[in-house]
Structure 1
């Protein structure tokens, strides 16, 4: 059987791309890769891509020179987690506080990892996780 080798893209759906861009660049320090009127793509750690789609803007097939992208969309508060180094957790807590982003939850996991939870500008639940949360991380 062929095997999957990773998750390349994670998508969240937002109401306002400019507001979302400000949150993800200013608060999380992500670097945009590309964008158009429908979406923003951010580099996450040089290995993954976070896609932010304007809610309702991808309900029709997109035709590109190389092929097509089928319709998709989402609503409601979605969850995404970002990996951080264990020794950077205090700096992230400070950074979130400096941007008036409330930490809604904290968890100490049985394998030794830690998580903090907060919301983005579209109410998605974001998590910063240190190694030791999963058997593979």
Structure 2
């Protein structure tokens, strides 16, 4: 028996202590729509709806590492991570220069910008929590 197919990634999570600075960055700089928030616990952003919803979840690990209350309406298991994570967004190859110029105009420091041996390009920078954020040509994984 083999594993059934999946449709793709629905959610990705990053962790941060300062949710306000993450909200400013992901909404104001990156341009993503905030779709949910619980102060001191999490903030969620819609990345795209095509071909299905894709969402970035940002949690405070201290708040999500705790097990749910016995009477919790949504008994999500505890989770959390400490230290910088990584998140990569697919960007059309011909829009990477636009993104680089835009990020620089927003005072976002470009940490690396290079072509992989395959010829695909990646641009790396950090969000306010220190997570490594990558914008990459999807050809990277073809």
Same fold judged by TM-score > 0.5?
A: yes
* Residue ranges of structure 1 left out of the alignment (5+ in a row): none
Question: 1:73 is matched with which residue?
Answer: 80
* Deviation digits for residues 56-78 of structure 1 (CA, Å, limit 9, x no counterpart): 1112233543x410111111111
Question: 2:117 is matched with which residue?
Answer: 110
The reply to whether residue 131 of structure 1 matches residue 138 of structure 2 is yes
* Deviation digits for residues 23-66 of structure 1 (CA, Å, limit 9, x no counterpart): 1111111111111121111111223110000131112233543x
> More helix per residue: 1 or 2?
2
- Which is worse superposed, 93-102 or 120-129? 93-102
Paired residues for 1:1-137 under 5 Å: 1=2, 2-37=4-39, 38-46=41-49, 47-62=53-68, 64-65=72-73, 67-135=74-142
Matched residues, number: 134
Give secondary structure in 2 for the equivalent of 1:76: coil
> More strand per residue: 1 or 2?
1
When the two structures are superposed, what TM-score results if normalisation uses the length of structure 1? 0.90
Distance 1:11 1:131 in 2: 20
* Residue ranges of structure 2 left out of the alignment (5+ in a row): none
When the two structures are superposed, what TM-score results if normalisation uses the length of structure 2? 0.87
Runs of 4+ in 1 over 6 A off after TM superposition: none
